[in-house]
């Protein structure tokens, strides 16, 4: 019989992978205008005319300009406003909250239920208690 402690490392990597999948954001397939992105006030992914992709926490409009707002990298500032020239924006997509939640539940919840089922089955043999004290 395999040492039960050998399952700890793959299990740790699997749980770390599940945490990475849980943080994924799904954006709506249909592009919206900058005005609709301002009204939605959701996470936004903008593809510029030159092909670069920029992600923002939300989009604002003031002083007749659009701004992409994202968290600052330093602790001294809260948020950074970046000017978005409307003629340089190619596509604007906003976060799809339902699809993001669905993906999180499927990618994190289903394997977690499987791990629990495996744990109940694996430890139901009764010899795991002996392994805690004498695991060679």
Element (H, E) at 60: strand 58-62
Q: What is the pLDDT of residues 43-78, one digit of tens each?
A: 999 999 999 999 999 999 999 999 999 887 766 667
Domain limits of the chain? 1-25+96-136, 27-95
CA distances from 121 to 114, 126, 135 (A): 10, 10, 19
What global pTM score does this model have? 0.62
- Write the CATH number of the domain with boundaries 27-95: 2.30.30.100
Residue 5: DSSP 8-state: G
């Amino acid at each position: 019989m395999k040492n039960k402690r050998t399952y700890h490392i793959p299990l740790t990597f699997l749980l770390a992978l599940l945490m990475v999948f849980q943080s994924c954001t799904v954006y709506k397939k249909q592009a919206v205008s900058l005005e609709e992105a301002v009204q939605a006030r959701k996470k936004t992914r903008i593809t510029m005319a030159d092909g670069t992709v920029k992600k923002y926490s939300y989009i604002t409009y003031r002083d007749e300009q659009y701004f992409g707002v994202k968290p600052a990298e330093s602790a001294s500032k809260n948020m950074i406003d970046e000017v978005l020239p409307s003629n340089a924006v190619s596509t604007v997509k906003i976060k799809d909250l339902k699809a993001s939640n669905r993906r999180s539940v499927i990618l994190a919840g289903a394997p977690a239920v499987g791990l629990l089922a495996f744990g109940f089955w694996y430890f139901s043999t009764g010899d795991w208690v002996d392994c805690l004290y004498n695991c060679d």
